[in-house]
Structure 1
Amino acid sequence: MSYFINVILPIPLDKEFTYSINKKEADFLHPGMRVAVQFGKSKIYAALVTKVHQIAPSVYEAKEIEHILDESPIVTLQQLDLWSWIAKYYLCTTGEVMRAALPGAFLLESETTIQRNDSSVFDESLLKDDEFLIYEALQYQSLLRIQEIMNIVGKKNVLPVIKRLLEKQVITVQEEIYEQYKPKTVRFVRLHADYSQEEALRGLLDTMSRSPKQREVLMHLFTMQAQQTKPIKFSELLKTSKSSSSTLKSLVDKGVLQEYYKQRDRVQYEGEVAIETKELNQFQSKAFEEIKVSFVHKDVCLFHGVTSSGKTEVYVKLIKEAISEDKQVLYLLPEIALTTQLITRLQEYFGEKLSVYHSKYSVNERVEVWNNVRTKKSKAQVIIGARSAIFLPFVDLGLIVVDEEHENTFKQYDPAPRYHARDTAIVLAKMFQAKVVLGSATPSLETAYNAEQGKYAIAKLTRRYGDVLMPEINLVDIKTKYKKKQMTGHFSDTLLLAIREALQEGEQVILFQNRRGYSPVVECNTCGHSPQCPNCDVSLTFHNYRNQLRCHYCGYHMAMLLQCMACSSTELSTKGFGTEQIEKELQELLPDHTVGRMDQDTTRGKHGYERIINRFEQGEIDVLVGTQMLSKGLDFRNVSLVGIMNADNLLNFPDFRAHERSYQLMQQVAGRAGRTKKRGMVLIQTYNPFHQILQQVSVNDYAGMYADQIEERYLYKYPPFYKIIKVTGKHKDYNKVNEAMNWLAKSYRNIFKEYVLGPEFPPISRIRNQYHKNLVLKIPQGQSLQKTKEAIKKIHTTFSGIKEFSGVRIILNVDNY
């Protein structure tokens, strides 16, 4: 009898593939385990088993698997269901979801290795120089990987060389698959069991009289054993005894000491755990009870609490309840910067029960968290992470907290799957009958609408913790200030005075500018030419600290110009400003104070955020300049003033969400001010102080903003009333992408009529040498989503068969928030 398995491959193909296995393998394999399989001519992948069965494929003959990679499933059945939902809803393939969901160490792919062909006889003198280099290297090494060959030959394209060597039968080629994850082991030492008796030990010490160094190591070992009950690390004994590793090694070789290894997680929490959480005030207690009561009838509750109202303490109470029922908890955050501060706070309450999962952690660290969640270890009962934490293999999920749920960073834009972590969290919770809390001071219009319609429950917290007043928000008209010559650089006299007063009082200041770099445009004063990116339709941004011009889309960079590229004039000036320029101006205006900057350039590396946030919290930085990273829920006790350098950048953006996002961003940045007893102040610099959104921000009028925006959305047929699918075509040939998107638009209009907008080139139509053209499909309420997506798939299947459009890449972005 024949046995087969269906597998998912980590490549963008729509279907599962069938491979044959024997009876023994069929008994051993379960869905969620990985097997190494050959796909295509020679490539080997780690594929994921979804089904064990006895039905042979009808179209092709099933290949045999190479070997089994796991002893037990690394992926749960709920995860497979979630992957399937994501692939269907967000119009992508399960292989793409698998690639996004699994830590890189699980996504094994084979690597081509080259070996010497000992059975062949040939003339060495016929080898070309680059061929001989490889042949010579194989005399000393049994096999070479492609990367090693690139280094030996000194060029990237080595395939022609390998091909020539194969034809001359000098080498053989093999595909090798290897594990990337290696558990971390710690080396310990102890006295050999033979010397556990006092007599044997005395005899040993007598023989050691000729080896004073070794005797000293032993004496230190006895002292350490007397002082601590924990096993003694090899490195600790070396450090304490101040001896060399060769001395310790000779003691091990003699059989006096015994060394042994223990597996250990890479991320450890060491510290005291607070026994009790803070006492909730009456408003927090009321909100907590409202959430608890709402969970009886509804699975999702919107927690609308103003900035600094103490939402985190309410979350902590909810998490404690879930833990007491032995459930797992997922705490999602939009930004890694936020996890840094929150980890410290939550570790005080949950200690070792807390694990962190996001992209700044290494592959090995993520594998350890993955395994701990899957085996439901106590050290991974509460998971705090960015959007990718949604893919962890939960076993018994009880609660999901989505903090700052309005943030657009919860949406994945590239590559596929282009999922929204908030919406996916709600689907995941449903699979476990778990509850979801969506927390925000400025909820997204979709969430607020769902709460208004009764789909979600709602709990409100309208008072700041400790009865601190909401910050006073003032608008500064910089158009008038420029006319009256009351500007110093990019600072109005009002903002400068407020900064100086705050610093005199020993308080801290946050300045917000949503653009990094020094200046977005460098312009020639003689001819008006500005340097452009050769790969994208954008001007290059000047970064002063590296003296470079950089493209923020493709990473292209060049040294700052000394003269104009067009007319050779040396009169170059910068237009516009970014965080770097604000930082430099402040350093000149406030020479006695420390100015810090927090943006993508200063927060590289795992601990980049942590360092800046800790320095600011400890008062080492007086003024912190930053991009929108600063706006997301960070809690700084000593900030009394927040300045928004230019509000108009946010408002004048070609997007139907621009006004909602501007309100949220400004309100969130404003929320960083005055979080203790003293009332904070927020100054917003703008050329248009009478703008409706700015007026609403200045009086904290969320209800007014919501009413205006929801009416506009209804009138112009946008979410939450209509769903949106954005279709983007990409190709390096302008005409090809143009024709392809026109054909697609025509096909869409045949079915969806007036609900198709476009196609149009976006404001930045060329990125990384690829032209982009978009069309938007609106799906009204009541229209079947499933049938709409089926129709889209049919159109795209026809499209992919048209020869003239080959090479045009089509990207589908569902719910393009």
Structure 2
Amino acid sequence: MSWFTDVILPIPLANTFTYEITEEQASLLKPGFRVAVPFGKNKVYTGLVYKVHQIQPERYEAKPVDQILDDTPLVTGQQLRHWEWISEYYMCTLGEVFRAAIPPALLLESETLVVRRDDYSGNESALKDDEWLVYEALQHQSVLKVQEVSSIIDRKHVLPVLKRLIDKGVIHVQEEVYEQYKPKLVRYIRLKKEYEADEVLAGLLDELGRAPKQKEALLHLFQLSAGGALVTVKKLKEASGINSSVIKTLIDKEILEDYHLKQDRIQHEGQEEKDSKQLNPYQEKALVSIREQFEEKDVVLLHGVTASGKTEVYVKLIEEALERGEQVLYLLPEIALTTQLISRLKDYFGEKVGVYHSRYSVNERVEIWGHILDAGEKARVVLGARSAMLLPFSNLGLVIVDEEHEVSFKQFDPAPRYHARDAAIVLGMQHGAKVLLGSATPSLETYYNAGTGKYGLAEITRRHGDVLMPDIELVDIKDKYRKKRMQGHFSDRLLEEMQECLEEKGQIILFQNRRGFAPILECNTCGHAPQCPNCDVSLTYHKYKNQLRCHYCGYHMAMQLSCLACGSSETDTKGFGTEQVEVELKELFPDHQIGRMDSDTTRGKHGHEKIITKFEQREFDILIGTQMVTKGLDFANVKLVGVLQADSLLNYPDFRAHERTYQLLQQVAGRAGRSKERGKVIIQTYDPLHQILQQTSMNQYHDMVGDQLNERRLFHYPPFYRLIKIVFRGRDYNRVNEGSEWYAKGLRNSFKGTGVEVLGPEFPPVSRIRNQYHKHIIVKIPQKAGLKQVKARLKKIGNSYEAIANFRNVRIIFNVDNY
């Protein structure tokens, strides 16, 4: 009887694929093992074993597995169950979840290799120029990668050239699988065993009397290895001041020997673990309340005002979970936030803290994955952005989702389009773990769930140290412009407060929710503004690179000295971003240091860390930034926060715009006055009487929630209705139109009389991105309608849609809970 295994492949196909295995392999393989498997004509993929069985596939002949890549499962059974839930709930494939979850270094990929044929005896002069270049390169090395061929002939499309060379018998191609992850090996040095006896060692030192540097190296080695400490070659060179040749000579003489040990790429550099801080009465009360509610409820919301010390409450709960021997997952919405928190948590828990996010290298992520899988002492507390929720936990006891209201927890592209907060709640339930959601401005859905008793609720109403909430002042810039009291984009009121703050040696944070210098460059003669050729947006001017850039596809061009339409040299910028604010600040405050924090200045692994550290150490007096500066950062010396234009947030075409504006303004206001003195916040706006801005200035969270929930109930939005957004994406404008209209008609016929509403299809504000047209349909699902049944109907209509040849080039994307 033959054996087979069902394998998940990291590709967006709905099914698992069956491969043949031997009886010996069947006894070894379990779900969660990685295997290299052939797919298609000549591709090799890393697959994940899903099931081992003896049922032969009916529709195709099973190919054999190429090789088994692991000794033990890389993915746990509980992890696979969670992936199945994500796949089913967010309407994506298991392969897409697999690709998103696994560090790229653990996904073996086949690499097409171009190999020289030794039996080629043709005439070299018959080869064309580009063919000869490849032939010549293969004389020096027998194997080339396709990318290397591309750079040799300086062409992107090399397949026609390779095909001609294959036809002429010059080369053949083959697929090679290679492992991307390589452990970091550190070179150590030690004395050979035969010299360890005292009398032999004394003789050796006498012998080396004529070689003072070699003798010095040995003496330093003894000093460093006192007490049995291991000595690296690097450490010995630094301590003794000798070079590599001296150490090489001692190794060649067989006096010393070198050896390699595997070392983690991420090292804990903190001191001894410290005890956590004593809680104040308000924090203590919230902690007791959370513990009590965890007795009955699995999910509790901690609603604590900004700077109320929520992190210290989390630390106490983490301590308790570690004492019980459990793992802890601590999710944050923004990589910038991990920077400040890592040092705080490592001070308390040392090497028990592991960090996982996309700015870490692939090899570092593999090592964290291994520590969590082993469930040892390292990485018992995992701190990370949304992808950390997909790690292989085996003994999860506590999940903390900090700043749970943040939109960054939602993955938009590519699939799986999950919401990390919701998926983490399900993960916690599968492990029997408790989930704590924390925020100063909880999302309406979470607060509604707490209000209806689905979640527990604990509150901290006072700031730490009884510091007053910041004084928020709204400044009418429409009136200021009319009275000519603006300097650039700064009102006289904001400049006055900034001057006062700087004189008192305080620091300032300024918030402008747009990067670049100006969003539009416009010709004063004909009104033309340069557009992106791939997207329906104008190009943003970036002064520091003297470029016009598209923030959707990355297209860029040099700054134009004259209008592209009429040739006029009179061009002007419209609107402003963080870069323009920085330029203005340098003119207004030439004697002060100014920093900027946006996605242009934080590129690279430690980009956030460098800017935050400089601001903490007071190298910057003023920090200007986008949303990055609003999220949970803690700076003791910030006395003033300025919001340069609040209206761009309010006028965003989204039913959550008012809720998000309130959250964003409250969060950025919360960066002010966090230690002793009351902070000041200036919000510049054209409409100071707007209800949301009034509620923000008076900290009226409950009023905002009441108003927004009434509107949501009236217009059928979450939390009263579920939303699924269906996106149609394709290069042909007419086909996108036809396909979306056909699908919408099918939906309306299917959901007639069920209470399910179908809106659209409509083009979004930016309807073309990377030369692909987008059209949206929104499906509103009332609570009485079953979500599973609705999804089943969507998929059924989707299957019929895909069977129509005319629509095959228009892709359908489902986005469930499109928050």
Partner of 2:26: 26
Give the SS at the match of 1:110: strand
Of stretches 150-159 and 309-318 in structure 1, the one that deviates more from structure 2 is 150-159
Structure 1 residues 243-291: Cα deviation after superposition (integer angstroms, max 9, x where no partner): 2212211211221001111111000102213432110011100000000
Partner of 2:471: 472
Q: Distance in 2 between matches of 1:136 and 1:485?
A: 72
Partner of 1:460: 459
Partner of 2:259: 260
In the alignment, structure 1 residue 655 sits paired with structure 2 residue 657: no
| Correspondence for 1:796 among 795, 798, 802 | 798
Q: Distance in 2 between matches of 1:24 and 1:755?
A: 55
Q: Give the deviation of 1:785 after TM superposition.
A: 1.1
Q: Distance in 2 between matches of 1:637 and 1:275?
A: 21
In the alignment, structure 1 residue 592 sits paired with structure 2 residue 583: no
Q: Give the deviation of 1:240 after TM superposition.
A: 2.1
**Could you tell me whether the CA contact under 8 Å between 1:397 and 1:432 is conserved in 2?**
yes
Q: Distance in 1 between matches of 2:297 and 2:86?
A: 23
**Could you tell me whether the CA contact under 8 Å between 2:334 and 2:628 is conserved in 1?**
yes
In the alignment, structure 1 residue 225 sits paired with structure 2 residue 225: yes
Partner of 1:3: 3
**Could you tell me whether the CA contact under 8 Å between 1:696 and 1:702 is conserved in 2?**
yes
In the alignment, structure 1 residue 75 sits paired with structure 2 residue 79: no
AA at the equivalent of 2:36: A
Q: Distance in 2 between matches of 1:782 and 1:119?
A: 73
| Correspondence for 1:807 among 794, 809, 813 | 809
Q: Give the deviation of 1:45 after TM superposition.
A: 0.4
Q: Distance in 2 between matches of 1:563 and 1:765?
A: 28
Of stretches 134-143 and 531-540 in structure 1, the one that deviates more from structure 2 is 134-143
Q: Distance in 2 between matches of 1:369 and 1:114?
A: 35
Give the SS at the match of 2:194: helix
Q: Distance in 2 between matches of 1:514 and 1:449?
A: 28
Q: Distance in 2 between matches of 1:34 and 1:397?
A: 24
Q: Distance in 2 between matches of 1:244 and 1:637?
A: 46
Partner of 1:403: 402
Give the SS at the match of 1:545: coil
**Could you tell me whether the CA contact under 8 Å between 1:273 and 1:347 is conserved in 2?**
no
Give the SS at the match of 1:775: strand
**Could you tell me whether the CA contact under 8 Å between 2:308 and 2:460 is conserved in 1?**
yes
AA at the equivalent of 1:772: H
**Could you tell me whether the CA contact under 8 Å between 1:309 and 1:462 is conserved in 2?**
yes
Q: Give the deviation of 1:164 after TM superposition.
A: 1.1
Partner of 1:436: 435
Q: Give the deviation of 1:123 after TM superposition.
A: 2.7
Give the SS at the match of 1:583: helix
AA at the equivalent of 1:677: K
Q: Distance in 2 between matches of 1:246 and 1:24?
A: 51
Partner of 2:627: 628
Q: Distance in 2 between matches of 1:586 and 1:139?
A: 60
Q: Give the deviation of 1:210 after TM superposition.
A: 3.6
Q: Distance in 2 between matches of 1:267 and 1:509?
A: 33
Q: Distance in 1 between matches of 2:132 and 2:564?
A: 45
Q: Distance in 1 between matches of 2:136 and 2:205?
A: 54
Q: Give the deviation of 1:185 after TM superposition.
A: 0.9
Q: Distance in 1 between matches of 2:77 and 2:71?
A: 16
AA at the equivalent of 1:815: D
Q: Distance in 2 between matches of 1:337 and 1:387?
A: 13
Structure 1 residues 688-720: Cα deviation after superposition (integer angstroms, max 9, x where no partner): 011000010010000000000001000000011
**Could you tell me whether the CA contact under 8 Å between 2:83 and 2:94 is conserved in 1?**
yes
In the alignment, structure 1 residue 207 sits paired with structure 2 residue 207: yes
Equivalence map 1:232-631=2 (5 Å) = 232-631=231-630
**Could you tell me whether the CA contact under 8 Å between 1:274 and 1:349 is conserved in 2?**
yes
Give the SS at the match of 2:343: helix
Q: Give the deviation of 1:136 after TM superposition.
A: 2.2
Q: Give the deviation of 1:229 after TM superposition.
A: 4.0
Q: Distance in 2 between matches of 1:509 and 1:213?
A: 56
AA at the equivalent of 2:32: G
Give the SS at the match of 1:223: helix
**Could you tell me whether the CA contact under 8 Å between 1:523 and 1:530 is conserved in 2?**
yes
Partner of 1:90: 90
Structure 1 residues 298-323: Cα deviation after superposition (integer angstroms, max 9, x where no partner): 00000000000000000000000000
Give the SS at the match of 1:177: strand
Structure 1 residues 616-662: Cα deviation after superposition (integer angstroms, max 9, x where no partner): 11111111101011111000101111111001000001100000000
**Could you tell me whether the CA contact under 8 Å between 2:270 and 2:343 is conserved in 1?**
no
Partner of 2:159: 159
Q: Distance in 2 between matches of 1:462 and 1:206?
A: 75
Partner of 1:682: 681
The TM-score with structure 1 as length reference comes to 0.99
Partner of 1:104: 104
Structure 1 residues 422-469: Cα deviation after superposition (integer angstroms, max 9, x where no partner): 000001001110000000000000000111111100000100000000
AA at the equivalent of 1:57: P
AA at the equivalent of 1:708: D
**5+ long unaligned stretches in structure 1:** none
Q: Distance in 2 between matches of 1:395 and 1:160?
A: 50
Of stretches 388-397 and 128-137 in structure 1, the one that deviates more from structure 2 is 128-137
Q: Distance in 2 between matches of 1:508 and 1:595?
A: 10
Q: Distance in 2 between matches of 1:119 and 1:455?
A: 74
Q: Distance in 1 between matches of 2:780 and 2:416?
A: 20
Q: Distance in 1 between matches of 2:225 and 2:403?
A: 50
Q: Distance in 2 between matches of 1:273 and 1:670?
A: 35
AA at the equivalent of 1:581: Q
Give the SS at the match of 1:437: strand
Q: Distance in 2 between matches of 1:400 and 1:136?
A: 59
